[in-house]
Amino acid sequence: MIDVMANGDPYTTITEPTFVARFLLDPHADTVESVANVDAFVDLPDSTWALTIFTVDEVTRLLALWKETGEVANGSYFWAVDQLIVPEPGLTAMTAAVRELVRSGDITSVGIRCDDPD
């Protein structure tokens, strides 16, 4: 189920049986089908994990931009602590990747834990 930024909530939320994924789409630039660079939070029953999800093309675009602007050593590298790269834009591809991360348990290696693990 997709809940697209309802009731003043800034997130587009996808609810699955094993997790809830909240994507922070830019309402002026992103759509569910076209988003290529997004911050997301994955809520599990006992924890919450943060990810930044990019497409391969978005990484290429950012490197080219940084080469022109001189940022990040003229676009000579790309990194993010909580980075997840998917092959194509849109929440369908991103949710499929998150689903596999949750199923395999790799969400704990890829994401950054956001809650207090008391």
Q: Is residue 83 domain-resident?
A: yes
The larger pLDDT score, comparing residue 105 to residue 118, is at 105
pTM for the whole thing?
0.87
Query: Looking at the domain assignment, is residue 90 inside a domain?
Result: yes
Looking at the domain assignment, is residue 31 inside a domain? yes
Q: What is the pLDDT of residue 62?
A: 95
Q: Please count the other Cβ atoms lying within 10 Å of the Cβ belonging to residue 21.
A: 24
Q: Is residue 61 part of a domain?
A: yes
CA distance 97 to 101: 6
Cα(90)–Cα(82) distance, integer angstroms: 19
What three-state secondary structure class fits 7? coil
Mean pLDDT of the chain: 91
- Residues of 69-81 as b/e, b for ≥16 C-beta within 10 angstroms? eeeeeebeeeeee
Give how many domains the chain has, as a whole number.
Answer: 1
118 within some domain: no
Residue 81 has pLDDT above 60, yes or no: yes
* Structural domain range at position 35: 2-113
